[in-house]
Amino acid sequence: MLTPNKLGASSPRGITLLFLFISFCTFQLPVFADIKDKTAEEYRILGYAQQQKGNFFEALSYYTKAIELGLESPVVLNDMGVLYEQIGFRSKAEQYYLQSFQTDEKYLPVLSNLAYFYKVSGDVEVAFYYFKKRFELGEPSDRWTLKAKEELLKIHPEYIKWIVNREAEQLDRELVFQVHRAFSDQVKRSDEHFKRGQNFQRDGKYDRAIIEFDQALGLTPKNPIIVRAKREILLQMARRDLQERSEKALQMLDSGDTNSAKNEVRKILSTIPNEPITAQ
């Protein structure tokens, strides 16, 4: 019988070893899982290579090993279906095709394979279901999408109106996407011009900065940040010009050329704007 003292008696060394063991297990589990996943993926690659060579049974062996290691990929399951169909085991092919579909209902190759599998079997309505799903999920220009459209119309020609409406909706979405993308490109190029302008501004190259800001505004008109930056540059240029003219007038006075100095002051006064400088 265990006494309370024995229950509570734990040596520091024992506790340390226990924590080390737990830490080791906690660390090793992800490592072992990673190795397992990599090994399964290697088997999948080897299986695919054998499949491409026509070595169906060797490919099947590698794929089976990959699945046994937990690689329940829709790709592998679909390939298993293809292999079984090629060697004439249609019931096994159907089983793996359906497992692939259940793993990922949006995996396009298995939708095509299931559709043609049931078409050959004579189950036209089931084939129609997968052809329709393949058409709905595929890219409009993809050749397998186009094939799916042809096949589903052979089964149900009355679906032509549905297809026309769907393709029109897809075209509208594509046009909207292209408009958004073009606008995003414009904003990006505008930002590039704006940043170059800021660099020129920091270097005191105001004329070149203005050119960059104008190009930015050409792409994104009335952008308040760029408008404000251009206004600031115009003010800086005006202040610099005013300072240079003032120094020139003082030099004229120092040299005794009073008349020229007066004329320069008049020019300065005539160039000072009555209204705040704005960026156009």
- Residue spans of the domains in the chain: they are 32-104, 184-280
pLDDT tens digit string along 60-76?
888 888 877 766 788 88
For the stretch 119-177, pLDDT in tens is 999 999 999 999 999 999 998 888 999 999 999 999 999 999 988 888 887 776 676 66
Q: Would you place residue 28 in the very low, low, confident or very high pLDDT band (cuts 50, 70, 90)?
A: very low
**184-280 has the same fold as 32-104:** yes
Average pLDDT value for residue range 72-94:
89
- Residue 55: count other Cβ atoms within 10 Å of its Cβ: 14
Which distant-in-sequence residues (6+ apart) come within 8 Å of 70 by Cβ? 36, 37, 40
Angle at 47 (CA atoms; ends 44, 53), nearest 5 degrees: 145
Structure tokens, 162:
């549905």
Once rounded to an integer, what is the mean pLDDT over residues 92-105? 94
CATH class entry, domain 184-280:
mainly alpha
Return the CATH architecture of domain 32-104.
Answer: Alpha Horseshoe (1.25)
Candidates 269, 208, 260, 261; CA nearest to 237 is: 208
The arithmetic mean of pLDDT across residues 78-100, rounded, is: 92
Calculate the CA dihedral of residues 42, 48, 49, 52 and round it to 10 degrees.
180
Joined together, the tokens standing for residue 263 give 């004329």
Q: pLDDT at residue 27 above 50? A: no
Q: What is the pTM of this model?
A: 0.53
Predicted confidence band of residue 277 (pLDDT cuts 50, 70, 90): very low
What's the average model confidence in pLDDT over 8-12?
50
What pLDDT is attached to residue 64?
A: 83
Split at pLDDT 50, 70, 90, the class of 14 is low
More confident residue, 147 or 254: 147
pLDDT at 213: 84
